[in-house]
Structure 1
Amino acid sequence: MLTLLEARGHLSARLAAGGDWALRFDAPDGIKFNAVRRGSCVLEVEGGGQPIELAAGDCYLLTRPVPFVLRSGPGVVPADAGPVFARADAGIARVGDGDDLLMLGGGFTFAERARRLLLDGLPPVVHVPAGTRGAETVGWALAEIEAELTDRPMASGVVAGHLATVMLVHVLRVHLAHDPTAASGWLRGLTDPVVAVALAQMHTAPAHPWTVAELAERASVSRSTLAARFRTAVGTGPLDYLTRWRIELAARRLREGSAPLASVARAVGYGSESALSVAFTRVVGVSPSAYRRGAGPR
């Protein structure tokens, strides 16, 4: 799914802070992440409930386009983060007095339709404290990113961006292992060993004429068991999910290539252009031809 969404990691300047300070950040696009490498601070997300205390080794993802504040503690009026980061020197933005805190930051951009496919399945804030089981893998990725940014070897920016995407995968793994019920849709389905097998089959061979019975056989359960567990975890039936998966693959082909619609239809499991058109219009809201011309949702 991350490959389909063309996930790309990018790094911003690091933040060094000390004394009493507070910064207000604009709503991010895609997913925003920060990780505390030294010191501590407090995260406040607009409409996100109680502030979250962050300690060294903690990492978090913000999955909604809402403003947020980072601060040393209460009682400080936040400054706009934009000018602070615009003045960054040698890749480090500074605020307050000293460098008690050092924080890595960046984000992830995706192809269109990412919010419905990935971001809506995640809570607004994914917080991974340093002591969480499995968080050592996140810590490894963060340490490698920090080394790239500090030592600046050849192509460090490219490597750090790819490492950020690796970190995203590790954070999602830890998040799902720690609290499977916090996710929804296919993400939650991955935490069920039976449903995960069925998802893997459909993701790997979307053009195959799958039936619930065949998927159940691959997962070594009965048809009724798979159907029930799939609907509970993912929120829809296996074949409904398969339809949407095929449509997402078709949409990518339409965006990126010029193959005839009949060829696109065959590649994603539809026997004819008309069959693809009916399913595509029902899911996306416009016909494949209109979507290719740029009339589809962005």
Structure 2
Amino acid sequence: MDPLSILLDGVRARGAFVLRTVQNPPWSVQVRDRAPLSVVAILRGMPWVVPSTGDAVRLGAGDIAIMRGPDAFTFADNPRTPIQVVIQPGPRRTTSAGTELPEVADMGVRTWVNGVRTCDDGADGSSVLLIGKYRGRGEIATHLLSALPPLLVIPRAAHVESALVSLLAEETVRNEPGQDLVLDRSLDLLLVASLRAWFSRPDAEAPAWYRANGDPVVGTALRLIHGHPGHPWTVAALAGRTGVSRATLARRFTDLIGMPPMAYLAEWRIDLAADLLREPDATIDSVAHQVGYGSAFALSTAFKRARGISPQRYRDRT
């Protein structure tokens, strides 16, 4: 598989938080739940998204916004509208001062309406947002999260099939057997399609490994590294598989990726180990062999050098 497919293959929602919300103006909701990744599809209206750093962005119906945690972000009818509701971990709803808000504004399955709902055709200026949140970092590959900006927006004209948004919207307000699994997989599909569309945009500032995927030499080396991280790769072995000399591969790889092949391989192995360590049945020794280290001790030494913490302590904290 290509590097993007390998990274997106690691997307696995597990009990994701999914909600449909109708917001009547004036409204402003700040999200501080520290979720590693949030996906928001605009079903109606033209709300603003305000990241913790950077400029506010106006959204329209059909747009999809993806926010990388743990930084806070705000959705509002206007960037100048004072924050009325804060979404805390849990999730819990509070005022901006931290006072708990009663759960009295819910209307229907996984639906939250602020205030009184006056009509359903948008003539009242309301916005309808479809929100999906990944709760744990283990649901999203570490290398993928590091490749994303804090906020990315996929315009309606440039992104995924609207059928995926419609599917998630329809399933959000249903309550059938197996519904949690249906919502998890629907959210996964929407995220994968959205990220694939974003990575392909010329203005996406995609990471170097994505841009280099089309290079006949470096792209081949990346696919070998990503697809077989446990293999005892050397520069010579990679060069032999790509049909160039060691010096050519090293120079070309460094020029396009920004680091030598072995440094990239070491980084990829540690990122992959970090993801695998979150699996409840995985041992440090089994993870070590999967990512190319001969023993748990060898992985522990490399992991602590890269992350400043041992694999066991990392596992205990995640």
TM over 0.5: yes
Secondary structure, in 3 states, of the residue corresponding to 2:292? Answer: coil
Q: Aligned match of 2:312 in 289, 292, 298?
A: 292
After TM superposition, the structure 1 = structure 2 runs for residues 19-30 of structure 1, keeping only pairs within 5 Å, are 19-30=25-36
Cα distance in 2, alignment partners of residues 80 and 12 from structure 1: 18
> Does the CA-based 8 Å contact 2:288-2:295 persist in structure 1?
yes
After TM superposition, the structure 1 = structure 2 runs for residues 242-281 of structure 1, keeping only pairs within 5 Å, are 242-251=265-274, 256-257=280-281, 261=285, 265-271=288-294, 275-281=298-304
Change (3 A) 1:240 1:74: closer
Secondary structure, in 3 states, of the residue corresponding to 2:200? Answer: helix
2:312 maps to amino acid: R
Cα distance in 2, alignment partners of residues 126 and 241 from structure 1: 25
Secondary structure, in 3 states, of the residue corresponding to 2:156? Answer: coil
Cα distance in 2, alignment partners of residues 10 and 70 from structure 1: 20
Secondary structure, in 3 states, of the residue corresponding to 1:131? Answer: helix
Alignment pair present for 1:179 and 2:202: yes
2:107 aligned residue: 89
* 1:214-233, Cα deviation, whole Å (9 max, x unpaired): 43454455544543443344
1:123 maps to amino acid: P
Change (3 A) 1:270 1:13: closer
2:54 aligned residue: 48
1:155 aligned residue: 178
Per the TM alignment, residue 266 of structure 1 is displaced from its structure 2 partner at its CA by 4.1
Stretches of structure 1 that go unaligned for 5 or more consecutive residues are none
* 1:119-174, Cα deviation, whole Å (9 max, x unpaired): 23211111001011xx133x332111112124444323321221111221112111
Higher-helix-fraction structure: 1
265-274 vs 32-41, greater mean Cα deviation: 265-274
Alignment pair present for 1:77 and 2:95: no
Q: Which has the higher contact order (CA 8 A, sep 6+)?
A: 2
* 1:51-99, Cα deviation, whole Å (9 max, x unpaired): 2111110001111323222222355323114257943221221125544
Secondary structure, in 3 states, of the residue corresponding to 1:47? Answer: coil
Cα distance in 2, alignment partners of residues 95 and 292 from structure 1: 44
Change (3 A) 1:8 1:189: farther
Percent of matched pairs sharing the same residue: 31
2:143 aligned residue: 117
TM-score, normalization by structure 2: 0.75
Secondary structure, in 3 states, of the residue corresponding to 1:55? Answer: coil
> Does the CA-based 8 Å contact 2:10-2:140 persist in structure 1?
no
1:59 aligned residue: 64
CA RMSD, aligned part only? 3.4
2:131 aligned residue: 105
Cα distance in 2, alignment partners of residues 131 and 272 from structure 1: 50
Cα distance in 1, alignment partners of residues 214 and 15 from structure 2: 25
Report how many aligned residue pairs link the two structures: 290
Cα distance in 2, alignment partners of residues 68 and 250 from structure 1: 30
2:97 aligned residue: none
